[in-house]
Amino acid sequence: MPEWFSSNMNKSAGPADPETRKAQADPMNVMKGHGDSYLMSRQGKTDLLRILSFLEDIGGEIESSVELFAPNPYLRMTLHLIRGHLEAKTVTPTSLIGASQVPYATANRRLRQMTDDGLIEQRPRTKSGKSFSLHPSEKLLDQWMQLSGRVERLAETRFGGRKRAADSKDYYFGGSYMSAQSIPPLTVLPEPLKVAGGLRVLVHGDPTFMVMENLKRQFEQVIGTQIHQRAFSIDRLREEARRNADRKASRYDIIALDLPWVGEFADKGILMPLDEAMDIARLDPADFHTAGWQAAHWGGRPYGVPAQTTPELLFYRRDLFAEVGLEPPTTTDDLLYAASVLHDPQRGRHGVAWNAARGTALGHTVLMTMADFGQPVLNLPEIAGGFGTDHLADGNYHPTIDTENGLRAAEFLMELLKYSPPDILSMSWYERVRPYAAGSIAMAYGYTLLAPYFELDESSPACGQTGYLPHPAVPGAAQVAPVGGYVMGIPANLPPERVQAAVEALIVFTSPESQKLFVQNGSRTNPRYSVGSDPEVRRASPIFEAVDAMSWRDELQFWPRPPVPEICDIIQICGEEFHDMLRGFSTPPQALRRAQTRADALMRPPKT
């Protein structure tokens, strides 16, 4: 490595079946359609690519303007190598030598020197090993990240105006302690994964996993094998995972599951305990949001790795609140009052939207609303910060629906109905956020994974005007942001010869580098502290800083939907009985009594 270059570097998923295309259509439209221009201009062009293009351009200008300036082969080859890595394009020795713009023999010597210095890694492309691709090493990427940051700050300080210069000052004098820690791009595995037919992954058809599908080519380059991703709607995903467990050999190497399913999937032997397949320390467990990591456990053992931690928050229009002088709601009474003030059907605006469609959707709302009144759906023991779930694998639990706080929660939903849009009883996951994004709803309960509907759409009235809050709660009950999202696990019936490849891919997919890449391409979910504190991630959306703050305040909680094997049935029961209540077919006390009776029968089936 020449002195000039060294000194400057070191200073400082497959298509879904027809029945689930509808579930995927909306998330995909967020990332495509009007989202294409966004990906191609802002998020898709990372800071690294901007700096890289700048250096390519300025190098070309200097070399073409001054005859005595010759191309620098080290710089030219580095630029070509890193661009190929970021754009998931194969780089061969021939193409790298061609990019150097110097004679073949000179370029070949420079290439060998960069390889000997540990800046370039080779990976076989064929079984014989005679053909190989070239990739930047972790060492080179780390040095390039440092150089890119310095180049950007120098350019902003000299040419970016006073505002940018002030930002740079904040950077140096501790404007954000964590913002100095920038996550580097993904690096390729030293050896490609050897798995017959490629890697097979079963996921949910939501925006984050669709981002992963859009980035499939890049991930295939990283792991060195094809990826076959299949996506389903939430209920179909659970059905397919359970069917897969009945097969002699799993059709999937990795499956995604909703957090509340962990107990069922562990109890029924659908998932392999991860500590049987890998060294858990490789995942860096302390980096995951505490609630998300704990929710992946059953009986004290991890059964999955958080792939998305997406709490349900209250989205609210800051501009509308400011117009009428309202403070952000922190209590359920505050929420009802704000909804009543902002509810104006004559002008096409409604106060609030939420999950109220019959079955699974409303069932989730019922459990989370009960939590807002300090009432878990099971007899969980009170602990500091909420309720304990460590004992659930012992089986000593029963439903607690028909209670005084349960009644208050039911009456709250009846009040909420007054300030909701007329079609609220058919609204579910995406339907509640669409009208919020369109400007016809002032507040909406929604998972962070749905934020791209308005954050990535500059025509949305909610774009740049949304505040994020944990659930408002009654006085005396802690405000919580119920944790949702998905973990990725390994099927228990996966053939042994495929397990190690599944482990390595699982580590890649859930790594900080991958999670940052998802965010840069439109995702608004994140399971790791390190990703939430990355400066590029924080610039992408205020949602990450808000969620990190909630986690530090212990507001991210998964006890509102305790992951017991019966939880999906309990959710379905509540979603049916409370829907009848909201339609006027039963009173709140009747709905609670019926839901309690059905849940009791589920927990204690009659003996035969």
Give residue-wise pLDDT tens across range 66-92: 665 677 888 888 888 888 777 667 788
Phi-psi region of 187 (alpha: psi -120 to 50; beta: other; left: phi over 0): beta
Same CATH topology for 199-308+485-532 and 312-482+567-603?
yes
Query: DSSP assignment of 523-539, as one string?
Result: -----BHHHHT-HHHHH
| Mean pLDDT calculated for residue range 233-254 | 95
| Encoded amino acid at 277, one letter | A
Give residue-wise pLDDT tens across range 532-556: 889 889 989 999 989 988 988 889 9
Rounded-to-integer distance, Cα 170 and Cα 172, Å: 6
What is residue 53's predicted lDDT score, i.e. its pLDDT? Answer: 76
Task: Please list the residues that pair with 399 across neighbouring strands.
Answer: 378
| Encoded amino acid at 377, one letter | V
- Closest by CA to 231, choosing from 434, 523, 499, 27, is 27
Query: DSSP assignment of 554-608, as one string?
Result: T-EE-TTS---TTHHHHHHHHHHHHHHHHTTSS-HHHHHHHHHHHHHHHHSPPP-
What is residue 88's predicted lDDT score, i.e. its pLDDT? Answer: 67
**What CATH architecture applies to the domain 48-180?**
Orthogonal Bundle (1.10)
Give residue-wise pLDDT tens across range 294-332: 999 999 999 999 999 899 999 999 999 999 999 999 999
Rounded-to-integer distance, Cα 444 and Cα 546, Å: 17
| Mean pLDDT calculated for residue range 394-409 | 95
Topology annotation, domain 312-482+567-603 = D-Maltodextrin-Binding Protein; domain 2 (3.40.190)
Predicted confidence (pLDDT) at residue 511 exceeds the cutoff of 90: yes
Q: Which residue has the tokens 């609210």?
A: 316
For the chain, give the mean pLDDT: 84
What are the extents of the domains in the chain?
48-180, 199-308+485-532, 312-482+567-603
Name the band, by pLDDT with cuts 50, 70 and 90, for residue 15. Answer: very low
Give residue-wise pLDDT tens across range 461-504: 999 999 999 999 999 999 999 999 999 999 999 999 999 999 99
Contacts of the segment 76-79: beta carbons below 8 A, 24+ positions apart = 76/100, 76/101, 76/102, 77/107, 77/110, 77/111, 77/114, 78/5, 78/114, 78/119, 78/136, 78/140, 78/144, 79/52, 79/55
- What's the predicted TM-score (pTM) here? 0.72
278: exposed, middle or buried (Cβ count in 10 Å: 0-12, 13-18, 19+)? buried
Name the band, by pLDDT with cuts 50, 70 and 90, for residue 384. Answer: confident
| Mean pLDDT calculated for residue range 565-585 | 97
**What CATH architecture applies to the domain 199-308+485-532?**
3-Layer(aba) Sandwich (3.40)
Query: DSSP assignment of 61-75, as one string?
Result: HHHHH-TTPPP-HHH
3-state secondary structure at position 520: helix
Phi-psi region of 584 (alpha: psi -120 to 50; beta: other; left: phi over 0): left
What is residue 140's predicted lDDT score, i.e. its pLDDT? Answer: 83
Predicted confidence (pLDDT) at residue 175 exceeds the cutoff of 50: no
Name the band, by pLDDT with cuts 50, 70 and 90, for residue 93. Answer: confident
Which position has the higher pLDDT, 487 or 52?
487
Predicted confidence (pLDDT) at residue 27 exceeds the cutoff of 50: no
Rounded-to-integer distance, Cα 225 and Cα 222, Å: 8
Copy the structure tokens of residue 48.
């690294």
What is residue 199's predicted lDDT score, i.e. its pLDDT? Answer: 97
Task: Please list the residues that pair with 228 across neighbouring strands.
Answer: 200
**Residues above pLDDT 70, as percent of the chain:** 84
3-state secondary structure at position 50: helix
Predicted confidence (pLDDT) at residue 606 exceeds the cutoff of 90: no
* Radius of gyration of the chain measured on its C-alpha atoms: 26
